[in-house]
Amino acid sequence: SHKDIKPTMATTSNNNPSTITPHNMHVKICNAGDYQRVARSILPTPLYEYLASGTDDEQTLSENESAFKAWYLRPRVMRPVGSISTVTTLFGQRLSMPVFVSPAGVHALCDEVHGECAAARACGKVGTIFGLSQHATRSIEQVAEATQGNANLWYQSYILKDREMTLRLARRAAKAGYRGIFLTVDSVRFGFREAE
């Protein structure tokens, strides 16, 4: 489980501590697979395996990857290109692009100092949704404060056995300015992660 993994700074492949930035990384990223390749080379093995693996026989992970590969960008030729926009609307909310950051817990395993706050601020800068996991390492309020109202925040809520707690968490998110709820209803138990 993630509780057994210690927060860490990113390290280079030769395990020398290093802060990875666009200025010292010198890695060409051309596609989504490149991100995984870079992550494998700079993260400690237990952390990489936690982030990159799925549960049990990883069937859902495999099916998700296959489903994603079924989508194509449709080229449109012989059209004006002077005004191109990726802006879209989701549930009445304007987004700069049809991409958002889904809820994923324990960001502090990768960024001990800022945790989920860094990703939320980045989403605010580019104008898309940041989903805060119920398993976040920063509180609902800390993430909202870190974005200073400049982010489209959504909160992920599980249906807990304690229904009042579920409601209290959703109300805290609404009070802190979150604009939506990702309601997770398919996790009655956590799966076994064989890679760990």
Q: pLDDT, tens digit, for every residue of 99-113?
A: 999 999 889 998 899
What's the pLDDT score for residue 26? 67
What's the pLDDT score for residue 125? 96
Q: Which two tokens stand for residue 114?
A: 């800022």
Q: How far apart are the first and last CA of the chain?
A: 7
What's the pLDDT score for residue 147? 96
What's the pLDDT score for residue 189? 66
Which segments of the chain have a pLDDT < 50? 1-5, 7-19, 22
What's the pLDDT score for residue 195? 63
How would you write the chain as a 3-class SS string? Answer: CHHHCCCCCCECCCCCECCCCHHHHCCCCCCHHHHHHHHHHHCCHHHHHHHHCCCCCCHHHHHHHHHHHCCCCCCCCCCCCCCCCCCEEECCEEECCCCCECCCCCHHHCCCCCCHHHHHHHHHHHCCEEEECCCCCCCHHHHHHHHCCCCEEEEEEECCCCHHHHHHHHHHHHHCCCCEEEEECCCCCCCCCCCC
What is the chain's Cα-based Rg? 19
